[in-house]
Structure 1
């Protein structure tokens, strides 16, 4: 075996895939640049490109390292004889170094992901108009929807605790770890004493296969069985919005966001239990209108492309709104403060509701489906308005059948989190040669980052929606 040629192959694979990753990072940055309203390439743009590139390179290095390790486990192990092997420590050290680099890069990528998700603009639009006095409309429906949104912020398809439990079960109880012994046998040893030495490359290979296998099985079980038969929290949240008469307005970038239409077809939802049951019965029997934004439509989730005029008006209202919630702790006139705060909330809520209702002549929008290429690139090519003289584009809503709005949640970033969990496990095992320690530290780090995402997400939700943080549980 030529260790030098295998080392060269690894470097070539990393180089080629990194080149492709560079192009993907450019495309992602280009989309961000157009959605962010930038006119020139500045430090912020370069920073976004750097973060995208870091995440992609981290994934590339992991895949090459795991691929080389699996190759050694499945192919080279059969030919493993001490007499035919020279000094392979340099190759082992190279793969270990790659795992360290990949872990650092993917951790930076996850931090960037958390920062992106916890800085979104979000507002809960209340459609309830049954009260003569708007000041007496109940806030509990909004609080309930906000709590459900707060809960699904870190919801994932793959349960990390369950996954790590099965990984440890297969590696230590079924004893797949014995396949990483320094020999050419593919038999499971029932006694740990039968294996006196483990090969770190084989350990990485069997660890990657076990982690990937358990994750894929869990993902398929969740997608094909759990969310279809038992519960789909994302769909349940959208149903809750309709039952509560609350819409969700999200801006994840300057000119880009999502809209979840929760306006009830019954007109009011702040009613007693009898009316709620009767309303649901009417919907079930199709004796009332649909929940969709358009007539005779069930489409409730939309991708938004907004124009400069709308964004400026939104920012103006939000600044007035935020100027009262920012310094609330220092205000002594509580009654006056809460009155102004309520008025600011009503102004912003009224503007967004009027916009969706087509009641604002200056802020029109239209709805169209995304083209095939737009779905492939996950980017909407916005056409200029024929009625505009200043070149300002229209506001456009695109039905979000793929539920891309979950990109603002952990749910929509499962692949990044999945890769980070894998590289954490393999990184710790490469340093300590201990699957149990790798499992424990992977669980701890995942819990810490999930806790950080919950904390900052809850803080952002409170600041942007006027809901006190102690009401978000």
Structure 2
């Protein structure tokens, strides 16, 4: 603890520094950065307490039971209550860290860039000297954007582990297979201390959680289904890119521009497009020429944020404009929102296409130090960076999936504390399940509401 405690402060300082750079803070000693530092310290310190308590309790429990000669002794009552205080403090720290993580997640800004062009059709009536009268421009349909937005909202609460499966397996191991007997201090007796019960329960909970996590990544996502790579494919088919800002100047970009130029087509032609891609008869889906890579971690220049905020600021004036127009509230509001959406879509398309000199970017690989510390070391105040994401799932950090440890560790501590207080594994499992469901539902609601505000997609079309 004496070593990991100071290291936690150093790591929290690094994370706060990274947050300040990604947020475009001119000074890293302002109030918001200090608050973020304290919150990051709570998170890291909670992890330190969890690791130390788990390692210490498991070592004392199993070393005491396996010793042949009297070397280890169990803790006395006062020492056990000190451990209980640390356990409760760890639960509180993990809860604060979880709330901080969820708030950070729901406040991110997401926009769906539609690359589709309006189509021109020839009218069947007799030709006119005015060419414009012989042609009609069909507007771009919005259903593709609504489809992608709904899929994005559904990804928000996808977890790397299944809470119900986790609790069922833990209950089966501890009660049905009676692994709780390992918490008994001496064989043949029924006495178990708080420390030994904590050691056994936290050990099995974390082992089951990590095994489920590993099997999900190594087997389920590779063999059965991978919702995140499926979403990338959907973006390419729908001709829609996604840019999401987790910080004012930092986020993720999914390049979904169709290599066929359009997506408003029939089933037969869409199948023909996919056939061409399979036979390598067209270009690649990647942002760079000759590349398949579609996912990037982005760091944007200050000029981008200025223009972005300028466009989004028009949303605040929508209500005033609706009252002045005197027309139907919903119709007038949607009309104004559609105009702002078109401006934002045009701006972001020009940014990706390098059409704005003040908001340009370069594509590069992330260095080892940047990947290790989760920090950007280059100056992006004038020219942004698009960092290649070879894993293709880096954008999962925008969802619960990428923040699995915050949820798993909190649920583990809640399960243990509930068990130690109520002395019932079944009741502890019920409490964890209910709390987890409530947190997921609340997160989903706030995430969707913020998605509507940021993407300018009509909330009536989000399921």
TM alignment of 1:185-334, pairs within 5 A: 185=187, 196-321=190-315, 323-324=317-318, 332-334=326-328
Aligned position for 1:442? 432
Measure, in 2, the Cα distance between the counterparts of 1:445 and 1:330: 46
> How far has the Cα of 1:341 moved from its partner?
2.1
Tell me the alpha carbon deviations over residues 250-277 of structure 1, each in whole angstroms, 9 at most, x when there is no partner. Answer: 1111221111100010111111110111
* Gap change, CA 1:224 and 1:326, over 3 Å in 2: farther
1:163 maps onto 2:166 in alignment? yes
1:18 maps onto 2:5 in alignment? yes
Measure, in 2, the Cα distance between the counterparts of 1:90 and 1:304: 52
1:353 maps onto 2:349 in alignment? yes
Tell me the alpha carbon deviations over residues 386-444 of structure 1, each in whole angstroms, 9 at most, x when there is no partner. Answer: xxxxxx52122111224332221111111222211111111212222222121111111
Aligned position for 2:389? 400
Q: Secondary structure at the match of 1:259?
A: strand
> How far has the Cα of 1:363 moved from its partner?
2.4
Aligned position for 1:190? none
* Gap change, CA 1:345 and 1:374, over 3 Å in 2: same
Aligned counterpart in structure 2 of residue 147 of structure 1, from 147, 150, 153: 150
Measure, in 2, the Cα distance between the counterparts of 1:25 and 1:377: 11
Contact 1:154 1:450 in 2 (8 A): yes
Contact 2:161 2:213 in 1 (8 A): yes
TM alignment of 1:423-462, pairs within 5 A: 423-462=413-452
Gaps of 5+ in 2: 121-135
Measure, in 2, the Cα distance between the counterparts of 1:329 and 1:372: 55
TM alignment of 1:166-185, pairs within 5 A: 166-183=169-186, 185=187
TM-score (norm 1): 0.88
Aligned position for 2:32? 44
1:56 maps onto 2:67 in alignment? no
Tell me the alpha carbon deviations over residues 123-176 of structure 1, each in whole angstroms, 9 at most, x when there is no partner. Answer: 001111042477732111111111111011111111111011100000010011
Aligned position for 2:18? 31
Measure, in 2, the Cα distance between the counterparts of 1:147 and 1:284: 27
Measure, in 1, the Cα distance between the counterparts of 2:321 and 2:157: 29
* Gap change, CA 1:338 and 1:414, over 3 Å in 2: closer
Tell me the alpha carbon deviations over residues 264-304 of structure 1, each in whole angstroms, 9 at most, x when there is no partner. Answer: 10111111110111111110111011100111111111111
Measure, in 2, the Cα distance between the counterparts of 1:462 and 1:326: 20
Measure, in 1, the Cα distance between the counterparts of 2:298 and 2:220: 30
> How far has the Cα of 1:321 moved from its partner?
4.0
Q: Secondary structure at the match of 2:288?
A: coil
Contact 2:397 2:403 in 1 (8 A): yes
Q: Secondary structure at the match of 1:304?
A: strand
1:366 maps onto 2:362 in alignment? yes
Aligned CA RMSD, in angstroms, stands at 2.3
> How far has the Cα of 1:332 moved from its partner?
4.8
* Gap change, CA 1:146 and 1:331, over 3 Å in 2: farther
Measure, in 2, the Cα distance between the counterparts of 1:155 and 1:362: 37
TM alignment of 1:99-138, pairs within 5 A: 99-132=87-120, 136-138=139-141
Measure, in 1, the Cα distance between the counterparts of 2:177 and 2:321: 59
Measure, in 2, the Cα distance between the counterparts of 1:78 and 1:378: 42
Task: Tell me whether 225-234 or 66-75 shows the greater mean CA deviation.
Answer: 66-75
Gaps of 5+ in 1: 1-12, 186-193, 385-391
Contact 2:359 2:382 in 1 (8 A): no
Contact 2:243 2:254 in 1 (8 A): yes
**Aligned residue pairs, count:** 443
Tell me the alpha carbon deviations over residues 8-63 of structure 1, each in whole angstroms, 9 at most, x when there is no partner. Answer: xxxxx2x3211111110000001111111112212111110010001111111122
